[in-house]
Structure 1
Amino acid sequence: MPMLPERQRPLLRAALKHAADARFKTRVATLVASRGFVLHPMDWMPAASYQEIPDVYAPWVDWQAGVDGEKQSRREQLTVETWDDFYPAARRTALADMRRTAPALARQLIEAKGSSEPAEIRSALIELMGVGLSADDAPFLKSLFADRSGRVRELAGRLLARLGEHGNPGDGGTEDPTAELAAFFAEGKSGFLRRRTTYTPIRLKSPAQEARRGDLFATCYLRDLAAHFGKTESDFLGAWQFGVDDNADLFLIRMVSVSGGEAAVAHLADTLVAEGGKPALLVLHLMARLDSGRKRALIRQILKDTYDLHALNQVEGVEAGWLEWDDLTNGQTLPALHSAIAGNDEPLKRSADQILETLGFLATAATAEKLIGDVVAAGMAPAAPSLGLLRLNASLAGPGIDT
């Protein structure tokens, strides 16, 4: 991939300077990569500990990590024989790609070589199994219950739960944590002509109960909880009474994210996004499990609702450079930005700056250029630092990402 042209490096440096942390700086690099360029290493280098970067930077991460100098990054295919010839980040990238195209082959490699890696690397390898997860992976995942790392055992149990399999059989005790968790919910009926089952969090009496319920949500699996009530995952989620207890809603969403099946995740995301407003924001906790289309649908809904535009800054794992001008005008996003820019409320102005930075990452080049003109007309200084990523984006006009 070619280096970013010299004439655009000043715009790049301005965008990087304004980016608050490694996450936002990585967004700058991701946007540029989506337009077919890499950054000059004198302008930016990814931190060795930060993995959420475009794949093209994997060799840079390995170099930063100071991995064994005798090894060299290779272009050959990752195999059992070449495993040790790959730096860790390059190996992770190769395995992630393989899980998308040849998941069985990737699993066989992880099974053959993963056990000899340190616990931290083993757990990272098992996390990759979430890509292309299928029933064929179940025997290997079950074998991981004998792994010496508790984190690896936990990940294996969650992945098995997503497949509809029972998680870690545990220590053989008589206590049933799923039944204990279920006791925190009241089963009821709603509707007059068409009666339907509902599940509502009961009112808790003490912080100790709150803590215990949170622990149980974190350790139990959605499939087991739904089965306790004789329901499928999707039916249980459809009967859940959102809005009664915000903490319970959040714990449930997190449970779905780590252990829910694909159908349950999709059903819940679609339902909450369609409802809009505050419920739609809960879907932010499902981002790691959503496909590209659902991520875009959530962002469009946030922009349309204008319920909490600041939530855009929490969006993770979404593609760069696809948001069209119509997506911004379908709601009150632009009026809200205009009001913040023209007003005297400093916190609102700072929030608008952050939103503009996020939109600079999401927008197409044409949308970025149009948005700059719009907010400048509303009173923002043309040289405002918060427009840095939008200016860089607009300068990278070219083939965009199809919406």
Structure 2
Amino acid sequence: MSELDQAGLARLRDGWISGGAAFELAPAEWKEVASAASPDEQERRLLAIAAQALDVALRPAAPKTLKRRQPLPVLALPMLPERLRPLLRAALKYAADARLKTRVATLVASRGFVTHPMDWMPAASDQAAPEVYAPWVDWQAGADGEKHSRREQLTAETWDDFYPAARRIALADLRRAAPALARTLIETKGASEPAEVRLALIELMRVGLSADDISFLKSLSADRSGKVREMAGRLLARLGERGNPTDAGPQDPTAELAAFIEEGKSGFLRRRTTYAPIKLKSPAQQARRADLFASCYFGDLVARFGKTEPDLIGAWQFGVDDNADRFLVLMVSVSGSDAAVACLADMLVAEGGKLTLLVLQLMLRLDSGRKRLLIRQILNDAQNLHALNLVEGAEAGWLEWGDLANGKTLSALRSAVSGDNDVMKRSAEQYIEAIGFLATAATAEKLIGDVVAAGLPPASPSLGLLRLNAALAENRSQSDR
């Protein structure tokens, strides 16, 4: 449309805005269309023509920077049924942050469904989303080509046919099934990747980690990325390979750390060796000890005292210095062997109380059985229920009613929701949400009735995940008929 035509439309618009007729201001061609009609009809016809011209002829052109995206990938699981979407949205709305929203999606995936993309989608940087969402993660990251889905086998030839999230999942699966083949792929194809990608690939070596990986991990000591070298060193330490961190100064850092720990004896008849953190004299010492725990490897510390990993763990005097306890547990989680992690987790859970919270730092290295044992311990004593929201990597939908009824959690929840303490009520509602993720469908339905009977309003948003949990099972049973 020319500038003259645009000016004519502007005159028509101004005439209508001022409340007058615009027929005499219209172009000759438009007058021919409207001239045979009554005055009011003439104005209506002109208005229709002007609207068509403005909506079509003057529609702005798309900017050259605009790119056409590929359609959103279809996921391997069916979409959540439409009738359950209101329950999903209610649960997502109550979830306070992205991590808790991902937990809702994880529960849905565990029951064989995925969310509608208008209700929830993982972010481009989301590595905690269920594996089924990998194509959406890559799509969010800007993947715009047509590459193979992860149903294709990952090989050196198909490496570039996978987007990053799908490739990461395929590599993890390959490490479980054929660890040597996955290691070869990481070694040959990962070398040309940027440092951030290389780090993520090396981190996958933790899956199926074995002595066969030592040679490759040692070769990474020459990697150009300091983070990659650090990750490789930690993985080697888990395999019992002695480390030599050099970033802490000319003095042997392990010896310096050992100097912060004193050896003692306990028992009258059977004398046994104990280890406890010394009392520190200044904030500078506290900072230095924290740095040493973070930079040294657990195997090196064990060797320094001439003990085995279980011996040092069993001899450590927990409760003398809470910070030192936390540093030691974190050290084991980062560089201790699988046996050391299991030994420490079992001991802390058996001790119970506040020591149970220390196990949270080991969560990512615990098997599903120990994770469940920890959660049952938390529910049993009901002293650290807030830890339920801190548990990482827990499975969804396994907690039975007996796990709640046999401990103190149910009575604590009933007391909180029936009382007048608003702080306790809000805390109880958060615990109920966490249990909604862990519970079986039958447990979820039973818990709803229990806490409502105790005084929780039936419309409480904290019941959203429990209601979704129970409804997912109902939908599954209907679809199986």
State the TM bucket, normalised to the shorter chain. over 0.9
SS of structure 1 residue aligned to 2:473:
coil
Cα distance change of structure 1 residues 357 and 127 upon mapping to structure 2, 3 Å threshold: same
In the alignment, residue 367 of structure 2 is paired with which amino acid?
D
The reply to whether residue 213 of structure 1 matches residue 292 of structure 2 is no
The reply to whether residue 152 of structure 1 matches residue 228 of structure 2 is yes
Deviation at 1:353, TM superposition (A): 1.4
Q: Deviations over 1:226-279 (max 9, x none)?
A: 110000111111100000000000000000000000111111111111111111
Deviation at 1:322, TM superposition (A): 0.2
The reply to whether residue 382 of structure 1 matches residue 464 of structure 2 is no
Please provide the CA RMSD for this pair. 1.5
Q: Deviations over 1:106-138 (max 9, x none)?
A: 111100111111111111111111111000001
2:216 aligns with one of 113, 121, 140: 140
Deviation at 1:188, TM superposition (A): 0.4
Please, which runs of 5 or more residues in structure 1 have no aligned partner? none
Which has the larger Rg? 2
1:15 aligns with one of 69, 73, 91: 91
Identity in percent = 78
TM-score, normalisation: structure 2: 0.81
In the alignment, residue 346 of structure 2 is paired with which amino acid?
D
Give, in whole Å, the separation in 2 of the partners of 1:267 and 1:345. 40
Residues 150 and 167 of structure 2 are in contact (CA less than 8 Å); yes or no, is this contact kept in structure 1? Answer: no
The reply to whether residue 393 of structure 1 matches residue 469 of structure 2 is yes
Give, in whole Å, the separation in 2 of the partners of 1:177 and 1:387. 51
Residue 301 (structure 2) aligns with:
225
Aligned residues between the structures: 400
Deviation at 1:99, TM superposition (A): 1.2
Residues 248 and 295 of structure 2 are in contact (CA less than 8 Å); yes or no, is this contact kept in structure 1? Answer: no
The reply to whether residue 264 of structure 1 matches residue 345 of structure 2 is no
Give, in whole Å, the separation in 2 of the partners of 1:25 and 1:327. 25
Cα distance change of structure 1 residues 153 and 343 upon mapping to structure 2, 3 Å threshold: same
Q: Deviations over 1:37-89 (max 9, x none)?
A: 11111111001111011110000000001024354545311111111110000
2:198 aligns with one of 115, 122, 128: 122
Residue 311 (structure 2) aligns with:
235
Deviation at 1:383, TM superposition (A): 1.1
Cα distance change of structure 1 residues 4 and 24 upon mapping to structure 2, 3 Å threshold: same
TM-score, normalisation: structure 1: 0.97
1:82 aligns with one of 137, 152, 158: 158
SS of structure 2 residue aligned to 1:397:
helix
1:25 aligns with one of 101, 124, 127: 101
Matches for 1:325-344 after TM superposition, within 5 Å:
325-344=401-420
In the alignment, residue 204 of structure 1 is paired with which amino acid?
L
The higher-RCO structure (CA 8 Å, 6+ apart) is: 1
SS of structure 2 residue aligned to 1:186:
strand
Which sits farther off after the overlay, 96-105 or 358-367?
Answer: 96-105
Residue 351 (structure 2) aligns with:
275
Give, in whole Å, the separation in 2 of the partners of 1:30 and 1:101. 24
The reply to whether residue 166 of structure 1 matches residue 242 of structure 2 is yes
Which sits farther off after the overlay, 380-389 or 345-354?
Answer: 345-354
Cα distance change of structure 1 residues 70 and 168 upon mapping to structure 2, 3 Å threshold: farther
